[in-house]
Structure 1
Amino acid sequence: MTVYETDVLVIGGGPAGSTAAAALARNGIKTTILERDVFPRYHIGESLLASLVPMIDIIGATEKVAACGFVKKPGGYFNWGGEKWAFRFDEVEGAPEHSFQVERAEFDNLLIEHAGECGAEVHQNVSVNKINFEDGRAVRASWTDHTKKKSGELKFKHLIDCSGRNGVLANGHFKNRRFHDVFKNVALWAYYDDVDLSYDDLPAGSTRILAVDQGWIWFIPLKDNKVSVGLVIAHDALRSKRKDNMSDEEIYNQVLEDHPEAKLMLQKATRGKMRVESDYSYTSDSFSGPGFFMSGDAACFLDPLLSSGVHLAMFSALMAAACITSIHTGDVDEDRAHTFFETSYRQAYLRFLMLVSTFYDMGQGQKGYFAQSQKLTSKEYDTEEMKTAFVDIVSGTADFTDVSDEEYGAVIVAKVTEKLKTGVDMRRGTREIGEEEREEHLQFMDGIVGLSFLDKNASIGGLYVEQEPTLKLAEASA
């Protein structure tokens, strides 16, 4: 059997894998991507957060993405919980003016090609069959090249598993992936032509989110006047409708027909084939260990509501690349780097868990699958100590999977809902807010949605990610 060697093996060439590989290759580290598919290939997850802009800049892909002609996304609109409200990214001081609505086949292909141009070795149509460990450390991968009809092994110093839902490590080796019962949903979607997006005064390119009974609808405008229209519905609700002899397509069509705004937008539209994906919300018990990091959907995926998928994928990939670079140069101890990665990644994941939980609580109250309180932490705090509880959650020390106190979860959701409503009031200017409260609120929200791993003042264990002159971990005290 042929055995090759590399410094870093990246499994998967999606946004996580390509971002990590590009960052590492730009730092002069020998990096190899083994990608199971042949790009371009279809993928869902088209609406990207504003955090994309600084992250593609870090890996030097800004001009390439801008040249693709993707629809610019200035913000979004929610018809949710009995309220209608819109937001723009540029309402937040220092935030990018827009992100992008992308066709993932084109976007992902751009990123994997960019990784190759940065110096990474890219192999497509190659499956990783098994990761071999020695003394508890990941050291080798067995692979099959389906184009060349050959197999072999690849030795590495570090591994970044970006294999997506396939989960080479989480599913194939550790078997430690756990699905969230609270977010046990099904997504049904299709692509439409001739959708009427002119009925409101939203800026062109805005995402539209419409709450429905036991779920919600997305409208994402793409290039060439195509619009992605999806329905996310509770698994139990869908199963109940199926028992009434309704097909998935009939259920999808009926929900869109019954919502006034959706019906208005689609009255003259035509669509293509409907697609379905289910049980996509999960996490792994750990995101890293001796010799390996897990990034993007290989580690966790929450819910499409706030478009966190690509954000968490690229975010974790940059952190993994920074950690490996610093280990490679001997600047940071490996155990310390893994602690930084595990803590900061889980912190980012739990931020979105809290936000999605809050939105669902606002939207449906005690109906259907939203009736379960979100289980966020096992520690007990008074209502007034909500911020302390939040810090406990986002620090990564709280284990939200082993909670028995449902009442406490509801308290946290209610208080964070209050924080979000304060933010809406601030933007609208509907009530007077003092400077001290305003500053406190902005700090709180920055802690939830910001790229805090790039902030020296928000270091974890004394470390943060430095961008210049090299993407790496740095001491906050330096």
Structure 2
Amino acid sequence: MADSDKDVDILVIGGGPAGSTAAAMLARNGFNVLLLEREVFPRYHIGESLLASCLPTLRLSGAFDAVAEAGFTVKRGSVFRWEQDEWLLDWRRLVDQDAWSWQVDRATYDDILLRNATKQGATVTEGATVRNVIFDGDRPMAVEWTQQDERDVIRTTTFDFLVDASGRTGVLGKKHFDMRTPHELFQNVGIWGYWTGARLLPNSPEGAINVISSPDGWYWHIPLADDRWSVGLVTHKQRFTESRERFDTLDEYYLDMVHAPDSLRDLLKGAQFEGKVRAEQEYSYVSERFCGPGYILIGDAACFLDPLLSTGVHLAQYSAMVGAASIATILRDDMPEQEALAFFDYTYRRAYSRMLVLVSRMYRDYIGMDDYFGKSQLLVHDDGHSERPVQSFTRISTGLTDVREAADAEGRVSTAAIVEAAENAKDDAAKANLKYIGGIDMSPVWNIWRDPLGPDTAMGDIRITAEPWLGLYREATT
């Protein structure tokens, strides 16, 4: 139950898609929410390609209409040219006619979501940097923070529950607890820029992202609004360091690399480069814990995954939805805190791990799309095995499997299946002898779910419901 002596019911650190979604959902369900965001929006951010799963969370947060009116490019699938194969993933054929999303300008998209949090009743303070989290035993009870225009004035805000959506900054996971474990497999660098006048690969679905593999890594090619294109390369940090030395500037390196693959060079023929190259380390990691007494970590604050399957915004908004439902249930005294937090950890950890397995297999032991899609089918419920393997993969990679499992307890694949796939990824990687890619240690992901019977038995009858309000619901047992 909320403590009336506290300044707010819930304090959210960070106003990206995770934080703004959680704040909006909690505020529109009647809670007093304060969101502290370090930057002043709009601000630039990479990660423009959304999965179909983002639409239901946008509707639940109240932001859907504003996003729909922003004029973003509609996305209905993807094309992967991965090694010797071409995957044509048309969501309308492989999922259903209503499966779509957007390719977005993140400065605009994130700003819409942050303004929506205010519209739903949350208090949003921009230019606010959290300096310290104050604990009472194991439970956070206040944060100390400053504003850009008054850096010498330390403000203190008390709360009942803390949501860490601080992204890679990691106010709790990195700075306070120091509990992040990197995935050695994905120590990559992303280098990208923007173009006008490019085109998509033949037979691409409307607004599709094109992904092209190469010996150096892989490329993304994304159609944004107004004939603007996001084009980037992801490569291992060591390969980047070695290749970069041959060029005087980062721009020269980038332009040489994006014209190396024949297929990408054809897509950029006649296109105009805007003239600014950006680079960023994209080291994947996972936190030892996603939650604890009085707090949760959502989005990149909890874990980060290589962007190969465009999972960033999906995991942000999905974890925000599950987290908001769990917190609302706790503060209404509808379920013990430990049980609700266990469901949050169980649900978010499964979603992250399933995507992690898919991405790691593409990097490490890809031997063909039939084998790859066949293994992916084992990560969905047995009922899904009546469909083609490529359909199962597409449902997972659109994020819709995660959304379905959160609301449908009976439709969840067993945790044992995900654990087995994760452990196989670990074992196979140990045998791999690639020059730059090491083994992937899955143990941090499944540190509390080693007994495959435990979590499914405990969580199997809990699901998320939005009616009459957002929360967790336990099915009656007979």
TM over 0.5: yes
184, 188, 201: which is aligned to 2:187? 184
Matches within 5 A, 1:170-319: 170-197=173-200, 200-244=202-246, 247-272=249-274, 273-319=276-322
Q: 1:290 offset after TM fit, Å?
A: 0.8
Residue of structure 2 in register with 1:392 after alignment: none
Q: Which moved more, 1:266-275 or 1:452-461?
A: 452-461
Could you tell me how far 1:280 is from its partner in structure 2? 2.8
Verify: 1:320 aligned to 2:273, yes or no: no
| TM-score normalised by L of structure 2 | 0.82
- In the superposition, relative to structure 1, how do residues 437 and 29 fare at CA in structure 2: closer, same or farther (>3 Å)? closer
Q: Which residue of structure 1 lines up, in the alignment, with residue 20 of structure 2?
A: 18
Match of 2:360 among 357, 361, 370: 357
- SS of the equivalent of 1:321 reads helix
Q: Which whole-Å CA distance do the structure 2 matches of 1:91 and 1:465 have between them?
A: 28
Aligned position for 2:420: none
- Is the CA contact (8 Å cut-off) linking 2:196 and 2:227 kept in structure 1? yes
Aligned partners of 1:192, 1:140: CA distance in 2, in Å? 46
Distance 2:336 2:394 in 1: 32
* Residue of structure 2 equivalent to 1:152: 155
Give the alignment partner of residue 162 of structure 1, picking from 159, 162, 165. Answer: 165
Q: Do structure 1's residue 418 and structure 2's residue 374 form an aligned pair?
A: yes
Unaligned stretches of 5+ in structure 2? 413-455
Q: How far apart are 1:160 and its partner, in Å?
A: 0.4
Distance 1:65 1:446 in 2: 23
SS in 2 for 1:7: strand
Alignment correspondent of 2:466:
467
Consecutive unaligned residues in structure 1, runs of 5 or more: 366-412, 424-434
Q: Is the 8 A contact 2:406 2:464 kept in 1?
A: yes
Mapped contact 1:340–1:461 kept (Cα < 8 A):
no
Distance 2:396 2:472 in 1: 20
In structure 2, what residue type is equivalent to 1:314? Q
The 1-side partners of 2:260 and 2:237 are apart by 19
Cα pair 1:130 1:172 within 8 Å, conserved: no
Higher relative contact order (CA closer than 8 Å, sequence separation 6+) = 2
TM-score (norm 1): 0.82
Distance 1:95 1:136 in 2: 48
Confirm or deny: 8 A CA contact 1:72 1:100 kept in the other structure: yes
- Change in Cα spacing, 1:305 to 1:276, as seen in structure 2 (3 Å) is same
Structure 2 counterpart of 1:114, from 110, 113, 116: 116
Question: Cα–Cα, structure 1 residues 336 and 437, in superposed 2: closer, same or farther, change >3 Å?
Answer: closer
Aligned match for 1:38, one of 18, 37, 40:
40
Rounded to whole Å, the distance in 2 between the matches of 1:152 and 1:422 is 50
Q: What's 2:60 paired with? A: 58
Q: Contact 1:101 / 1:222 at 8 angstroms: preserved in 2?
A: yes
* Mapped partners of 1:226, 1:446: distance in 2: 28
Deviation readout 1:309-331 (Å, 9 max, x if unpaired): 00000001111110110011111
Deviation at 1:271, TM superposition (A): 1.6
Report the CA distance between 1:58 and its aligned residue. Answer: 1.1
Q: What CA distance in whole angstroms lies between the structure 2 residues aligned with 1:463 and 1:316?
A: 16
* 8 Å Cα contact 2:212-2:219 kept in structure 1: yes
Among 103, 106, 131, the residue aligned to 2:105: 103
Q: Residue type of the partner of 2:126?
A: Q
Q: Give the number of equivalent residue pairs.
A: 417
DSSP 3-state at the match of 1:191: strand
What SS class does the counterpart of residue 184 from structure 1 fall into?
strand
> Offset of 1:193 from its aligned partner?
1.1
Deviates more, 1:139-148 or 1:454-463: 454-463
Q: 2 CA distance for matches of 1:437 and 1:60?
A: 34
Q: 1:438 aligns with which of 386, 399, 412?
A: 386
Q: Are the aligned partners of 2:373 and 2:393 in contact in 1 as well (CA < 8 Å)?
A: no
Structure 1 pair 422/246, CA: closer, same or farther in 2 (3 Å)? farther
Moved more, 261-270 or 289-298: 261-270
SS of corresponding position for 1:41: coil
State the secondary structure of the residue aligned to 2:88: strand
Q: Distance in 2 between matches of 1:156 and 1:117?
A: 21
Partners of 1:80 and 1:363 within 8 A in 2: no
Determine if contact 1:193/1:225 at 8 Å carries over to the other structure.
yes
SS where residue 216 of structure 1 aligns? strand
Moved more, 446-455 or 220-229: 446-455
Q: Contact 2:91–2:394 (CA<8 Å) still a contact in 1?
A: no
What code does the residue aligned with 1:59 have?
S
Provide, for residues 8-27 of structure 1, a one-character-per-residue CA deviation record: whole Å limited to 9, x for no partner.
00001110001000100011
